[in-house]
A = this chain, B = another copy of it.
Amino acid sequence: MTNFVPVIICGGAGSRLWPLSRENHPKPLIKLGDGLSLVQHALKRAMGLPGAQDLITVTNRDLFFAMEDEYRQMDCQPRQARYLLESEGRNTAAAIALASLDAVQAFGDDVILCVLPADHVVADTAAFGKAVERAQQLASEGRLVTFGIRPDRAETGYGYIEADGEDVRQFVEKPDAETAESYLKSGRFLWNAGMFCFKASVMISLMEQFCPDILDGTRGALTAGRTTSGDGLAQVTVDPEKFAEIRSDSIDYAVLEKAPNVAVVACDIGWNDIGSWSALGEQFDRDESGNLIDGNVSAVNSSNNVVSGSGRLVGLVGVEDLIIADTPDALLVASRESAQDVKLLYNRLKEAGDETHRIHSTAHRPWGSYTVLEEGPRFKIKRIEVKPGASLSLQMHHHRAEHWVVVSGTAKVVNGERELMLTTDQSTYIPCGAKHRLENPGVLKLVLIEVQTGDYLGEDDIVRFDDVYGRG
Protein backbone atom coordinates (compact mmCIF):
# COMPACT_ATOMS: atom_id res chain seq x y z
CA MET A 1 0.00 0.00 0.00
CA THR A 2 1.16 3.54 -0.76
CA ASN A 3 2.37 5.83 2.01
CA PHE A 4 -0.58 7.73 3.53
CA VAL A 5 -0.32 10.88 5.69
CA PRO A 6 -3.22 12.83 7.17
CA VAL A 7 -2.94 16.64 7.13
CA ILE A 8 -4.68 18.61 9.88
CA ILE A 9 -5.31 22.20 8.85
CA CYS A 10 -5.82 24.41 11.89
CA GLY A 11 -6.69 28.01 11.21
CA GLY A 12 -9.49 30.53 11.44
CA ALA A 13 -10.20 32.82 14.37
CA GLY A 14 -13.73 31.47 14.66
CA SER A 15 -15.15 34.95 15.21
CA ARG A 16 -18.68 33.50 15.17
CA LEU A 17 -17.81 31.47 18.27
CA TRP A 18 -16.71 34.45 20.35
CA PRO A 19 -16.15 34.59 23.33
CA LEU A 20 -15.10 30.94 23.50
CA SER A 21 -12.75 31.51 20.56
CA ARG A 22 -10.43 34.51 20.30
CA GLU A 23 -7.82 35.63 17.82
CA ASN A 24 -5.14 33.94 19.97
CA HIS A 25 -7.38 31.04 21.00
CA PRO A 26 -9.06 29.94 17.77
CA LYS A 27 -11.95 27.58 17.24
CA PRO A 28 -9.92 24.32 17.09
CA LEU A 29 -8.84 24.87 20.72
CA ILE A 30 -12.45 24.91 21.94
CA LYS A 31 -13.22 21.99 24.24
CA LEU A 32 -16.35 19.89 23.74
CA GLY A 33 -18.45 18.39 26.52
CA ASP A 34 -16.19 15.32 26.69
CA GLY A 35 -13.25 17.48 27.75
CA LEU A 36 -11.38 17.09 24.45
CA SER A 37 -10.73 20.05 22.18
CA LEU A 38 -11.74 20.04 18.53
CA VAL A 39 -8.08 19.64 17.55
CA GLN A 40 -7.71 16.66 19.88
CA HIS A 41 -10.71 15.08 18.20
CA ALA A 42 -9.06 15.84 14.85
CA LEU A 43 -5.86 14.09 15.96
CA LYS A 44 -7.84 11.02 17.09
CA ARG A 45 -9.73 11.00 13.80
CA ALA A 46 -6.53 11.41 11.75
CA MET A 47 -4.48 8.77 13.55
CA GLY A 48 -7.40 6.33 13.39
CA LEU A 49 -7.46 6.38 9.57
CA PRO A 50 -6.30 3.24 7.73
CA GLY A 51 -2.52 3.34 7.25
CA ALA A 52 -1.95 6.58 9.19
CA GLN A 53 1.35 6.69 11.10
CA ASP A 54 2.81 10.12 10.42
CA LEU A 55 1.05 13.48 10.58
CA ILE A 56 1.34 16.90 8.99
CA THR A 57 -0.19 19.87 10.78
CA VAL A 58 -0.52 23.25 9.04
CA THR A 59 -1.15 26.07 11.47
CA ASN A 60 -0.11 29.58 12.51
CA ARG A 61 3.32 29.76 14.12
CA ASP A 62 1.78 31.45 17.20
CA LEU A 63 -0.30 28.34 17.81
CA PHE A 64 2.57 25.85 17.69
CA PHE A 65 2.92 25.46 21.47
CA ALA A 66 -0.82 25.33 22.04
CA MET A 67 -1.23 22.64 19.35
CA GLU A 68 1.67 20.64 20.71
CA ASP A 69 0.14 20.83 24.22
CA GLU A 70 -3.17 19.61 22.85
CA TYR A 71 -1.63 16.68 20.96
CA ARG A 72 0.65 15.66 23.82
CA GLN A 73 -2.32 14.97 26.10
CA MET A 74 -3.57 12.25 23.74
CA ASP A 75 -2.67 8.56 23.52
CA CYS A 76 -2.63 8.41 19.72
CA GLN A 77 0.75 9.99 18.90
CA PRO A 78 2.07 10.09 15.31
CA ARG A 79 5.42 8.38 14.54
CA GLN A 80 6.59 11.59 12.92
CA ALA A 81 4.84 14.93 13.55
CA ARG A 82 5.56 17.63 11.00
CA TYR A 83 4.35 21.18 11.78
CA LEU A 84 4.15 23.59 8.82
CA LEU A 85 4.03 26.98 10.50
CA GLU A 86 2.47 29.92 8.68
CA SER A 87 3.20 33.52 9.61
CA GLU A 88 -0.35 34.52 8.65
CA GLY A 89 -3.41 32.89 7.09
CA ARG A 90 -3.33 32.79 3.25
CA ASN A 91 -6.37 30.54 2.81
CA THR A 92 -6.55 26.83 1.95
CA ALA A 93 -4.79 26.85 -1.47
CA ALA A 94 -1.52 28.02 0.10
CA ALA A 95 -1.94 25.69 3.09
CA ILE A 96 -2.47 22.66 0.81
CA ALA A 97 0.42 23.73 -1.42
CA LEU A 98 2.62 23.84 1.71
CA ALA A 99 1.52 20.39 2.79
CA SER A 100 1.99 18.88 -0.70
CA LEU A 101 5.48 20.35 -1.23
CA ASP A 102 6.62 19.33 2.25
CA ALA A 103 5.11 15.82 1.98
CA VAL A 104 6.90 15.08 -1.30
CA GLN A 105 10.19 16.16 0.33
CA ALA A 106 9.59 14.21 3.53
CA PHE A 107 7.71 11.14 2.34
CA GLY A 108 8.39 10.87 -1.42
CA ASP A 109 6.43 11.42 -4.63
CA ASP A 110 3.87 8.69 -4.04
CA VAL A 111 2.56 9.93 -0.70
CA ILE A 112 -1.22 10.27 -0.49
CA LEU A 113 -2.50 13.09 1.70
CA CYS A 114 -5.90 13.46 3.34
CA VAL A 115 -6.72 17.04 4.37
CA LEU A 116 -8.83 17.35 7.55
CA PRO A 117 -9.89 20.74 8.92
CA ALA A 118 -9.24 20.80 12.68
CA ASP A 119 -12.54 22.45 13.49
CA HIS A 120 -14.96 19.83 12.19
CA VAL A 121 -16.65 17.04 14.11
CA VAL A 122 -17.18 13.56 12.65
CA ALA A 123 -19.43 11.42 14.85
CA ASP A 124 -19.21 8.12 12.93
CA THR A 125 -15.49 7.45 12.69
CA ALA A 126 -15.96 3.88 11.39
CA ALA A 127 -17.97 5.17 8.40
CA PHE A 128 -15.37 7.91 7.92
CA GLY A 129 -12.58 5.30 7.88
CA LYS A 130 -14.42 3.39 5.15
CA ALA A 131 -14.89 6.59 3.12
CA VAL A 132 -11.20 7.46 3.41
CA GLU A 133 -10.27 3.93 2.36
CA ARG A 134 -12.23 4.38 -0.86
CA ALA A 135 -10.74 7.86 -1.31
CA GLN A 136 -7.23 6.40 -0.97
CA GLN A 137 -7.96 3.94 -3.81
CA LEU A 138 -9.22 6.73 -6.05
CA ALA A 139 -6.27 8.96 -5.11
CA SER A 140 -3.80 6.18 -5.88
CA GLU A 141 -5.29 6.11 -9.40
CA GLY A 142 -4.26 9.78 -9.66
CA ARG A 143 -7.64 11.33 -8.91
CA LEU A 144 -8.33 14.36 -6.75
CA VAL A 145 -11.01 13.22 -4.25
CA THR A 146 -13.54 15.25 -2.32
CA PHE A 147 -15.92 14.03 0.38
CA GLY A 148 -19.63 14.71 -0.11
CA ILE A 149 -21.91 14.57 2.91
CA ARG A 150 -25.41 13.29 2.18
CA PRO A 151 -27.70 16.15 3.24
CA ASP A 152 -30.44 15.52 5.85
CA ARG A 153 -31.92 19.01 5.52
CA ALA A 154 -32.11 21.88 3.02
CA GLU A 155 -29.09 23.69 4.47
CA THR A 156 -28.29 27.09 2.94
CA GLY A 157 -25.00 27.55 4.82
CA TYR A 158 -22.85 25.09 2.82
CA GLY A 159 -21.59 24.74 -0.75
CA TYR A 160 -22.82 21.67 -2.64
CA ILE A 161 -21.29 19.09 -4.97
CA GLU A 162 -23.44 17.69 -7.77
CA ALA A 163 -22.39 14.05 -8.14
CA ASP A 164 -22.75 11.57 -10.95
CA GLY A 165 -21.81 8.34 -9.21
CA GLU A 166 -18.23 8.93 -8.01
CA ASP A 167 -17.64 11.74 -10.50
CA VAL A 168 -18.13 15.40 -9.65
CA ARG A 169 -20.49 17.01 -12.18
CA GLN A 170 -20.16 20.52 -10.66
CA PHE A 171 -19.43 22.48 -7.49
CA VAL A 172 -22.16 24.98 -6.51
CA GLU A 173 -22.15 27.91 -4.12
CA LYS A 174 -24.34 28.22 -1.01
CA PRO A 175 -27.90 28.05 -2.39
CA ASP A 176 -31.03 29.97 -1.42
CA ALA A 177 -33.74 28.11 0.54
CA GLU A 178 -35.75 27.09 -2.52
CA THR A 179 -32.69 25.80 -4.42
CA ALA A 180 -31.48 23.95 -1.29
CA GLU A 181 -34.89 22.25 -1.11
CA SER A 182 -34.61 21.13 -4.76
CA TYR A 183 -31.04 19.87 -4.10
CA LEU A 184 -32.30 17.82 -1.15
CA LYS A 185 -35.11 16.29 -3.24
CA SER A 186 -32.91 15.49 -6.26
CA GLY A 187 -30.66 13.13 -4.29
CA ARG A 188 -27.70 14.10 -6.54
CA PHE A 189 -26.38 16.95 -4.40
CA LEU A 190 -23.97 16.51 -1.50
CA TRP A 191 -22.50 18.97 1.01
CA ASN A 192 -18.92 19.99 0.28
CA ALA A 193 -17.20 19.07 3.57
CA GLY A 194 -13.88 20.75 2.79
CA MET A 195 -11.99 17.47 3.20
CA PHE A 196 -9.80 16.18 0.35
CA CYS A 197 -7.66 13.18 -0.52
CA PHE A 198 -4.97 13.15 -3.26
CA LYS A 199 -1.45 12.18 -4.20
CA ALA A 200 0.83 15.10 -3.23
CA SER A 201 2.51 14.95 -6.64
CA VAL A 202 -0.88 15.12 -8.39
CA MET A 203 -1.86 18.21 -6.39
CA ILE A 204 1.45 19.84 -7.29
CA SER A 205 0.97 19.27 -11.02
CA LEU A 206 -2.65 20.50 -10.85
CA MET A 207 -1.40 23.65 -9.11
CA GLU A 208 1.32 24.10 -11.73
CA GLN A 209 -1.50 24.14 -14.26
CA PHE A 210 -4.23 26.18 -12.45
CA CYS A 211 -2.52 28.38 -9.84
CA PRO A 212 1.22 28.42 -10.56
CA ASP A 213 1.63 31.74 -8.68
CA ILE A 214 0.40 30.22 -5.43
CA LEU A 215 2.55 27.12 -5.87
CA ASP A 216 5.68 29.16 -6.70
CA GLY A 217 5.08 31.62 -3.88
CA THR A 218 4.67 28.82 -1.40
CA ARG A 219 7.79 27.05 -2.68
CA GLY A 220 9.73 30.28 -2.24
CA ALA A 221 8.43 30.86 1.29
CA LEU A 222 9.38 27.27 2.20
CA THR A 223 12.87 27.50 0.72
CA ALA A 224 13.59 30.79 2.50
CA GLY A 225 12.09 29.49 5.75
CA ARG A 226 13.78 27.39 8.39
CA THR A 227 13.39 23.81 9.54
CA THR A 228 14.31 22.25 12.84
CA SER A 229 13.81 18.56 13.36
CA GLY A 230 14.65 15.63 15.55
CA ASP A 231 12.95 13.18 17.92
CA GLY A 232 10.08 12.54 15.52
CA LEU A 233 9.21 16.25 15.48
CA ALA A 234 9.82 18.68 12.61
CA GLN A 235 9.02 22.41 12.69
CA VAL A 236 9.00 24.02 9.26
CA THR A 237 8.56 27.79 9.50
CA VAL A 238 7.87 29.75 6.32
CA ASP A 239 9.58 33.01 5.47
CA PRO A 240 7.09 35.66 6.65
CA GLU A 241 7.80 38.26 3.96
CA LYS A 242 7.58 35.78 1.09
CA PHE A 243 4.52 34.10 2.59
CA ALA A 244 2.74 37.46 2.91
CA GLU A 245 2.99 37.95 -0.87
CA ILE A 246 1.09 34.77 -1.74
CA ARG A 247 -2.37 35.26 -3.25
CA SER A 248 -5.09 34.28 -0.77
CA ASP A 249 -7.49 31.82 -2.41
CA SER A 250 -9.46 28.75 -1.43
CA ILE A 251 -8.48 25.35 -2.80
CA ASP A 252 -12.03 25.10 -4.20
CA TYR A 253 -11.63 28.16 -6.45
CA ALA A 254 -7.93 27.72 -7.17
CA VAL A 255 -7.94 24.04 -8.13
CA LEU A 256 -11.03 21.91 -7.55
CA GLU A 257 -13.49 23.82 -9.74
CA LYS A 258 -11.00 23.85 -12.61
CA ALA A 259 -9.46 20.39 -12.39
CA PRO A 260 -10.79 17.60 -14.61
CA ASN A 261 -11.79 14.21 -13.36
CA VAL A 262 -12.44 15.19 -9.71
CA ALA A 263 -13.97 12.35 -7.69
CA VAL A 264 -16.38 12.45 -4.77
CA VAL A 265 -16.94 9.86 -2.07
CA ALA A 266 -20.49 10.21 -0.78
CA CYS A 267 -20.78 9.44 2.92
CA ASP A 268 -22.90 9.56 6.08
CA ILE A 269 -20.38 10.22 8.83
CA GLY A 270 -22.14 12.50 11.33
CA TRP A 271 -20.30 15.55 10.02
CA ASN A 272 -20.65 18.99 11.66
CA ASP A 273 -18.45 21.95 10.74
CA ILE A 274 -18.95 23.77 14.11
CA GLY A 275 -19.41 26.93 12.10
CA SER A 276 -21.49 28.82 14.67
CA TRP A 277 -22.91 28.60 18.18
CA SER A 278 -25.94 26.72 16.84
CA ALA A 279 -23.65 24.04 15.38
CA LEU A 280 -21.47 23.86 18.48
CA GLY A 281 -24.60 23.56 20.64
CA GLU A 282 -25.51 20.35 18.81
CA GLN A 283 -22.52 18.78 20.58
CA PHE A 284 -23.92 19.64 24.06
CA ASP A 285 -26.23 17.58 26.29
CA ARG A 286 -29.95 18.14 25.70
CA ASP A 287 -32.30 18.56 28.69
CA GLU A 288 -36.01 17.71 28.74
CA SER A 289 -36.91 21.23 27.50
CA GLY A 290 -34.58 21.05 24.51
CA ASN A 291 -31.91 23.25 26.10
CA LEU A 292 -28.41 22.33 24.88
CA ILE A 293 -26.20 22.65 27.93
CA ASP A 294 -22.50 22.49 28.69
CA GLY A 295 -22.15 23.76 32.25
CA ASN A 296 -23.99 24.44 35.48
CA VAL A 297 -27.48 25.65 34.47
CA SER A 298 -30.78 25.97 36.34
CA ALA A 299 -33.66 26.67 33.93
CA VAL A 300 -37.22 27.78 34.80
CA ASN A 301 -39.78 27.92 31.95
CA SER A 302 -36.98 28.07 29.41
CA SER A 303 -36.49 26.01 26.26
CA ASN A 304 -34.27 25.51 23.21
CA ASN A 305 -31.40 27.61 24.53
CA VAL A 306 -27.72 26.88 23.90
CA VAL A 307 -25.70 27.49 27.08
CA SER A 308 -21.93 27.21 27.34
CA GLY A 309 -20.88 27.79 30.96
CA SER A 310 -17.55 28.30 32.68
CA GLY A 311 -18.15 27.09 36.23
CA ARG A 312 -20.50 29.82 37.43
CA LEU A 313 -24.17 29.06 37.87
CA VAL A 314 -26.31 30.23 34.95
CA GLY A 315 -29.99 30.79 35.86
CA LEU A 316 -32.58 31.03 33.06
CA VAL A 317 -36.13 32.30 33.56
CA GLY A 318 -38.70 32.42 30.77
CA VAL A 319 -36.28 32.55 27.83
CA GLU A 320 -36.25 30.70 24.51
CA ASP A 321 -33.92 30.21 21.55
CA LEU A 322 -30.99 32.08 23.06
CA ILE A 323 -27.27 31.47 22.88
CA ILE A 324 -25.52 32.18 26.18
CA ALA A 325 -21.75 31.77 26.30
CA ASP A 326 -20.10 32.52 29.61
CA THR A 327 -16.30 32.86 29.85
CA PRO A 328 -14.19 34.31 32.68
CA ASP A 329 -13.78 37.72 31.04
CA ALA A 330 -16.64 38.04 28.55
CA LEU A 331 -20.26 36.98 28.23
CA LEU A 332 -22.33 36.59 25.06
CA VAL A 333 -26.13 36.65 24.96
CA ALA A 334 -27.50 36.25 21.42
CA SER A 335 -30.64 34.98 19.77
CA ARG A 336 -30.16 31.69 17.92
CA GLU A 337 -31.35 33.26 14.68
CA SER A 338 -28.53 35.82 15.04
CA ALA A 339 -25.86 33.13 15.43
CA GLN A 340 -24.06 34.31 12.28
CA ASP A 341 -24.07 37.92 13.49
CA VAL A 342 -21.80 37.14 16.44
CA LYS A 343 -19.11 37.94 13.87
CA LEU A 344 -20.42 41.55 13.74
CA LEU A 345 -19.93 41.90 17.49
CA TYR A 346 -16.45 40.35 17.22
CA ASN A 347 -15.50 42.81 14.47
CA ARG A 348 -16.83 45.74 16.48
CA LEU A 349 -14.77 44.70 19.51
CA LYS A 350 -11.72 44.34 17.29
CA GLU A 351 -12.23 47.83 15.84
CA ALA A 352 -12.72 49.28 19.32
CA GLY A 353 -9.44 47.67 20.44
CA ASP A 354 -11.23 45.64 23.11
CA GLU A 355 -8.74 42.96 24.21
CA THR A 356 -11.45 40.32 24.62
CA HIS A 357 -11.52 39.85 20.82
CA ARG A 358 -7.89 38.77 20.88
CA ILE A 359 -6.78 37.30 24.17
CA HIS A 360 -8.28 34.47 26.15
CA SER A 361 -7.79 34.61 29.91
CA THR A 362 -5.54 31.56 29.51
CA ALA A 363 -2.37 32.16 27.45
CA HIS A 364 -0.18 29.33 26.14
CA ARG A 365 3.57 29.65 26.33
CA PRO A 366 6.39 27.32 25.36
CA TRP A 367 6.88 26.44 29.05
CA GLY A 368 3.18 25.93 29.88
CA SER A 369 0.37 28.43 30.40
CA TYR A 370 -0.98 31.16 32.63
CA THR A 371 -4.51 32.24 33.44
CA VAL A 372 -5.34 35.72 34.72
CA LEU A 373 -7.65 35.07 37.69
CA GLU A 374 -8.24 38.61 38.81
CA GLU A 375 -7.10 42.17 38.25
CA GLY A 376 -7.73 45.13 40.47
CA PRO A 377 -6.15 48.38 41.62
CA ARG A 378 -2.43 47.68 42.23
CA PHE A 379 -2.75 43.88 41.96
CA LYS A 380 -3.04 41.11 39.40
CA ILE A 381 -3.37 37.41 40.22
CA LYS A 382 -2.32 34.61 37.87
CA ARG A 383 -2.43 30.84 38.02
CA ILE A 384 0.76 29.58 36.36
CA GLU A 385 1.32 26.03 35.10
CA VAL A 386 4.85 24.95 34.17
CA LYS A 387 5.43 21.69 32.27
CA PRO A 388 7.82 19.12 33.75
CA GLY A 389 11.39 20.03 32.82
CA ALA A 390 10.37 23.46 31.45
CA SER A 391 11.77 26.81 32.44
CA LEU A 392 10.72 30.44 32.08
CA SER A 393 13.26 33.02 30.91
CA LEU A 394 15.60 34.75 33.35
CA GLN A 395 13.78 38.05 33.65
CA MET A 396 13.22 41.26 35.61
CA HIS A 397 10.36 43.75 36.04
CA HIS A 398 10.80 47.46 36.69
CA HIS A 399 7.38 48.21 38.13
CA ARG A 400 6.07 45.17 39.92
CA ALA A 401 6.92 42.80 42.72
CA GLU A 402 5.79 39.18 42.47
CA HIS A 403 4.77 36.72 45.16
CA TRP A 404 4.79 33.05 44.19
CA VAL A 405 2.86 30.42 46.16
CA VAL A 406 3.31 26.79 45.07
CA VAL A 407 -0.01 24.92 44.98
CA SER A 408 1.34 21.62 43.66
CA GLY A 409 4.60 20.26 42.25
CA THR A 410 8.13 21.54 42.83
CA ALA A 411 9.64 24.85 41.73
CA LYS A 412 13.31 25.68 41.28
CA VAL A 413 13.60 29.43 41.69
CA VAL A 414 16.35 31.91 40.98
CA ASN A 415 15.60 35.03 43.06
CA GLY A 416 18.36 37.64 42.77
CA GLU A 417 21.55 35.98 44.07
CA ARG A 418 19.70 33.08 45.72
CA GLU A 419 18.61 29.77 44.26
CA LEU A 420 15.92 27.82 46.13
CA MET A 421 13.56 24.83 45.83
CA LEU A 422 9.90 25.35 46.75
CA THR A 423 7.33 22.61 47.23
CA THR A 424 3.59 22.64 47.98
CA ASP A 425 2.49 25.53 50.28
CA GLN A 426 5.89 27.26 50.10
CA SER A 427 6.32 30.73 48.71
CA THR A 428 8.84 33.37 47.75
CA TYR A 429 8.87 37.10 47.08
CA ILE A 430 10.53 38.66 44.04
CA PRO A 431 11.13 42.38 44.63
CA CYS A 432 11.00 44.98 41.85
CA GLY A 433 14.24 44.94 39.89
CA ALA A 434 15.37 41.47 41.01
CA LYS A 435 16.46 39.04 38.29
CA HIS A 436 14.47 35.84 38.60
CA ARG A 437 13.73 32.56 36.90
CA LEU A 438 11.10 29.86 37.47
CA GLU A 439 11.75 26.26 36.53
CA ASN A 440 9.97 22.95 37.02
CA PRO A 441 12.70 20.39 37.74
CA GLY A 442 10.18 17.63 38.54
CA VAL A 443 8.21 15.07 36.59
CA LEU A 444 4.78 16.42 37.66
CA LYS A 445 3.10 19.63 36.53
CA LEU A 446 4.01 22.68 38.67
CA VAL A 447 1.06 24.89 39.61
CA LEU A 448 1.58 28.18 41.38
CA ILE A 449 -0.35 31.31 42.20
CA GLU A 450 1.40 34.56 41.38
CA VAL A 451 0.27 37.76 43.09
CA GLN A 452 1.68 40.82 41.36
CA THR A 453 1.66 44.16 43.16
CA GLY A 454 2.71 47.52 41.82
CA ASP A 455 1.57 50.66 40.08
CA TYR A 456 1.96 49.23 36.56
CA LEU A 457 1.15 45.59 35.82
CA GLY A 458 1.32 45.38 31.98
CA GLU A 459 2.75 42.28 30.29
CA ASP A 460 5.27 44.55 28.53
CA ASP A 461 7.13 45.37 31.75
CA ILE A 462 9.59 42.51 31.23
CA VAL A 463 13.34 42.41 30.57
CA ARG A 464 14.48 38.95 29.37
CA PHE A 465 18.17 38.06 29.96
CA ASP A 466 18.27 34.48 28.81
CA ASP A 467 15.50 32.50 27.21
CA VAL A 468 15.77 28.84 26.23
CA TYR A 469 13.01 29.50 23.66
CA GLY A 470 14.96 32.30 21.98
CA ARG A 471 12.50 35.13 22.71
CA GLY A 472 13.80 38.70 23.08
- Per the bound structure, the CA–CA distance linking A19 and B381 in Å amounts to 25
Complex contact B453–A298 (CB within 8 A): no
How many chain A residues touch B (CB < 8 A): the figure is: 60
Chain A residues 413-431 with CB under 8 Å of chain B are 424-427, 429, 431
- Are A316 and B330 in contact (CB-based, < 8 A)? no
Chain B residues near A333 (CB-CB < 8 A):
314-317, 319, 322, 324, 333
Q: Pick from B319, B378, B432: contact of A408, CB below 8 A.
A: B378
Residues of B within 8 A of A18 (CB): 315
CB pair B298 A319 closer than 8 Å: no
Instruction: Tell me if A424 and B453 are in contact (CB < 8 A).
Output: yes
Residues of B within 8 A of A315 (CB): 18-19, 330-334, 342, 345, 349
In the bound assembly, the distance between CA atoms of A403 and B424 in angstroms comes to 12
A468 near B: Cβ within 8 Å? no
Q: A298, A406, A426: which has the most chain B beta carbons within 10 Å? A: A298
Asked if A300 and B403 sit within 8 Å, CB to CB, the answer is: no
Q: Is A209 an interface residue (CB 8 A)?
A: no
Does the CB pair A331–B348 fall under 8 Å? no
Q: How far is the CA of A298 from the CA of B18 in the complex (A)?
A: 13
B376 contacts A374, CB within 8 Å? no
A317-363 with Cβ < 8 A to chain B: 317-319, 322, 324, 326, 328-335, 337-338, 341-342, 344-345, 348-349, 352, 354, 356
In the assembled complex, the CB of A108 is this many whole angstroms from the nearest CB of chain B, namely 48
B-contact bits for A372-387, CB 8 A (1 contact / 0 none): 0110111101010000
Minimum CB–CB distance from A189 to chain B (whole Å) comes to: 30
Flag if A401 contacts B425 (CB, 8 Å): yes
Contact with B along A9-32 (1 / 0, CB 8 A): 000000000110000000000000
Q: Which residues of B contact A324 (CB under 8 A)?
A: 331, 333
CA distance A332 to B298 in the complex (A): 10
Q: How far is the CB of A411 from chain B (nearest CB, A)?
A: 13
Q: Chain B residues near A431 (CB, 8 Å)? A: 425
Q: Is there an interface contact between B335 and A313, defined as CB atoms closer than 8 Å?
A: no
A464 to chain B, nearest CB (A): 23
Indicate whether A76 reaches chain B with its CB closer than 8 angstroms: no
Cα–Cα distance between A352 and B431 once the two chains are bound (Å): 47
The reply on A144 being an interface residue by CB < 8 A is: no
Chain B residue nearest to A309 (CB atoms) is B331
CA distance A335 to B320 in the complex (A): 9
Q: Tell yes or no: A312 within 8 A of B by CB.
A: yes
**Cβ of A449 < 8 Å from any Cβ of B?**
yes
A301 sits at the interface (CB 8 A): yes
CB pair B331–A319 under 8 Å, yes or no, is no
Residue pair A317, B298 in contact (C-beta under 8 Å)? no
CB-nearest residue of chain B to A375: B311
A326 to B310, CA, bound (A): 13
Residues from chain B with a CB closer than 8 A to the CB of A328 are 312
B residues within 8 A CB of A378?
407-408, 424
CB distance from A60 to the nearest CB of B (A): 24
Min CB gap A14→B, angstroms: 15
Give the complex CA separation of A126 and B99 in angstroms.
76
- In this assembly, does A454 line the interface, its C-beta being within 8 Å of a C-beta of chain B? yes
Does A405 make an interface contact (CB < 8 A)?
A: yes
| Contacts from A to B (Cβ < 8 Å) | 18-19, 298, 300-301, 312-319, 322, 324, 326, 328-335, 337-338, 341-342, 344-345, 348-349, 352, 354, 356, 373-374, 376-379, 381, 383, 401, 403, 405-408, 424-427, 429, 431-432, 449, 451, 453-454
Could you list 4 further interchain pairs (A-B, Cβ under 8 angstroms) beyond the known A301-B338, A425-B431? A315-B331, A324-B333, A379-B405, A379-B407
Q: Which 10 A-B pairs have the closest CB atoms?
A: A318-B338, A317-B334, A318-B335, A313-B330, A373-B374, A401-B425, A405-B451, A425-B453, A317-B338, A403-B405
